[in-house]
Each structure stands twice: as structure tokens, then as C-alpha cells.
Amino acid sequence: MDWKISEELVEYEDALAAMDARVAAIHAGAQDDLVWLLEHPPLYTAGTSAKAPDLLDARFPVFEAGRGGEYTYHGPGQRIAYVMMDLKRRQKRPDVKAYVCGLENWIIEALKSFGIQGERREGRIGIWVETDGTEKKIAAIGVRVRHWITLHGVSINVSPDLSHFEGIIPCGIKEFGVTSLKELLGRDVPMAELDAALKDAFGKIFY
């Protein structure tokens, strides 16, 4: 498994092209699996299940993502982890649902490093936390699989401008809001600190 960290903001279209190229290389046996950690400039992405009324205010560019899921926001202060992994090599029997479960476990395990209890919720994709007497989303998941090789991945709110989520109904869920590590902990969390937690947790979940 290779790891790549981009220090500068990565344009969304550039990321899509890079993922496509890497998946092709993995499929050809020319390159290894990759976890790519990055941030995007402010933008909204529409998954394959996105509903037009859920785009409330197109204040940022909107991209068709090709991944599963609905509308989500990406922007500075949010750690994106794109995972390009050959499920035929990683699993005895390729299973997308098991892979998504693994991504959920990965985020939950990484959040433990910060004393945060991330949880699943039936019928709601992503990872949730209880705070101020309610539930808020701290991480989103959206994947695509090609030749049994995964694309896209997860996004974790570290210190994004949470008001940017107001332009959409995130993942089509109106009843609950979003939160971040900064909001929960009351301090700035360096990306490098989260990256280290993600890399450590990855080895516990994926072999």
C-alpha cells in the first residue's frame, strides 16, 4: 500500500483524473494500491443518488462525482482520503458492503485517538457523534468500484467552515447537522495529527 499526501489544495477534476489513472495502473499490475490524503478548494459534489432539490445554494462549483451517495461538500480544513484498493487482492471474496464497513471502522478507530466516539447510524451513511444533545455528522463516505478496484473514499471534517454545508442538504439528511474535530475539541487539530491516526488505524482494519 502506497501513501501520498498533497500539501496544496487539489482541484477536483485533477483528482478524478489522477484516480482514474491510478486505478488503470493497479488493474494492469503496474502500481500498488494507494491511499491519497488531500484537501479540495470549496466545492459540492453530486453522487449517483443526488436529488436536485437538495442543492439549496450553488455558491460553489458543483461536480458530478460518479461515486455512490448524494450531495456533499468538500473544502479546506476537511481531510479527504481517496482509497484505490484492489478488493480481489485484499478480500477472500470481493464484497463492496464489507469494504464500506471497513471504511467506517477505519474512521471510528482514527477518531478514538482524539477521544471522540464515532458511531454508525442505521439508514444514514457516514460517521456520527453525539454532541449538545443531538447527533451530528463528522465524516462522509462515498465509493465507486471499477474492475473490483475502489475509487473515492472518505472525508473527515477537521476544521472546515461549517457554514459552507448550508448550500446543500448533506447526503439528503435534513434532520441532523454537521460538526468537526475543531468544534468538538475546541482546538485546532493539525492535519498531520489526523493523518498519523489514519495511517495507524488503517493497518488495524485493512491487511
Indicate the pairing of strand 134-146 with strand 177-178: parallel
> In this predicted structure, which of 33-42, 119-128, 149-158, 176-185 has the lowest mean pLDDT?
119-128
Residue 138 scores a pLDDT above 90: yes
- CB 155 within 8 Å of CB 139: yes
Residue 95 scores a pLDDT above 70: yes
**Band of residue 173 on the pLDDT scale cut at 50, 70, 90:** low
Residue 198 scores a pLDDT above 80: yes
Residue 174 scores a pLDDT above 90: no
Residue 7 scores a pLDDT above 90: yes
What grid cell was written down for 115?
477521544
Active site (annotated) includes residue 171: yes
Average pLDDT of span 13-36: 97
**pLDDT score of 172:** 62
Backbone angles phi, psi at 163, to 5 degrees: -65, -20
Categorise residue 153: left if φ over 0, alpha if ψ from -120 to 50, beta otherwise.
left
Terminal-to-terminal C-alpha distance of the chain: 10
Torsion sign across C-alpha atoms 19, 15, 38, 170: negative
Cα separation of 203 and 207, whole Å? 6
How far, in whole angstroms, is CA 97 from its chain's centroid?
16
**pLDDT score of 169:** 84
Paired strand residues for 63 = 45
Q: Which residue has the higher pLDDT, 71 or 194?
A: 194
Instruction: Count how many domains the chain has.
Output: 1
Cα separation of 27 and 79, whole Å? 26
What CATH number should be reported for the domain holding residue 119?
3.30.930.10
**pLDDT score of 61:** 95
Residue 59 scores a pLDDT above 80: yes
Residue 175 scores a pLDDT above 80: no
Cα separation of 4 and 1, whole Å? 10
**pLDDT score of 122:** 83
Marked catalytic residue, from 34, 129, 171, 178: 171
**pLDDT score of 42:** 98
The overall average pLDDT reported for the chain is 93
| Domain coverage including residue 35 | 2-205
Query: Strand 62-64's sheet: what is its strand order?
Result: 62-64, 43-46, 71-74
